[in-house]
């Protein structure tokens, strides 16, 4: 809510604009600004829009947008929302390695068990009941 302002004031969808109004549209992280040059009574194609409005967005806003593109940072807190494709693939790879015994954790646990007991058999099963 509150993404569009006209003349610095929040605008509802039905608000009328006048020639000379500056419409600001917040699309994080950038706020785009447009000046109304004329009004139309009909709908029009996108090619005619520049006749009725002018982009007056400051260059500093575009610099912010460019910095975000360069950084590659996605504004999503870890653990919130749906995992990205990359996160999902990492989770699947971890699960496959863990279940197959190829994970780094299993390797380290086996090495520790070998140091402590002289064997890598660190799971408890029926065979361990009768070991003497």
Q: Which domains does the chain have, with CATH numbers?
A: 4-71 (3.10.290.10), 85-122 (no CATH)
* Amino acid 93: pLDDT: 83
Residue 2: which of 40, 42, 22, 31 has the closest Cα? 31
pLDDT band with cut points at 50, 70 and 90 for residue 113: low
* Amino acid 29: pLDDT: 86
**Span 7-58, pLDDT tens digits:** 999 999 999 999 999 999 999 889 999 999 999 999 999 999 999 999 999 9
* Amino acid 20: pLDDT: 97
Beta bridge mates, 53: 36
* Amino acid 60: pLDDT: 94
* Amino acid 80: pLDDT: 74
The residues, any chain, with a CB within 8 Å of residue 2's CB and separated by 6 or more, are 10, 26
Residue 56: which of 98, 7, 22 has the closest Cα? 22
* Amino acid 43: pLDDT: 92
* Amino acid 87: pLDDT: 84
Distance CA 3, CA 24 (A): 8
**Span 80-111, pLDDT tens digits:** 778 888 888 888 887 777 666 655 555 555 56
* Amino acid 54: pLDDT: 96
């Amino acid at each position: 809510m509150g993404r569009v302002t006209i003349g610095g004031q929040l605008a509802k969808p039905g608000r009328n604009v006048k020639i000379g109004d500056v419409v600001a549209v917040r699309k994080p992280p950038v706020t785009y600004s447009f000046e109304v040059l004329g009004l139309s009574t009909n709908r029009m194609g996108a090619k005619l829009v520049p006749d009725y409005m002018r982009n007056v967005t400051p260059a500093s806003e575009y610099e912010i947008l460019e910095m975000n593109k360069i950084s590659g940072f996605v504004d999503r807190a870890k653990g919130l929302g749906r995992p990205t494709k990359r996160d999902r693939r990492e989770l699947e790879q971890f699960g496959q390695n863990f279940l197959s015994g190829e994970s780094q954790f299993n390797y380290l646990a086996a090495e520790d068990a070998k140091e402590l007991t002289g064997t890598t058999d660190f799971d408890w099963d029926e065979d361990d009941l009768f070991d003497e």
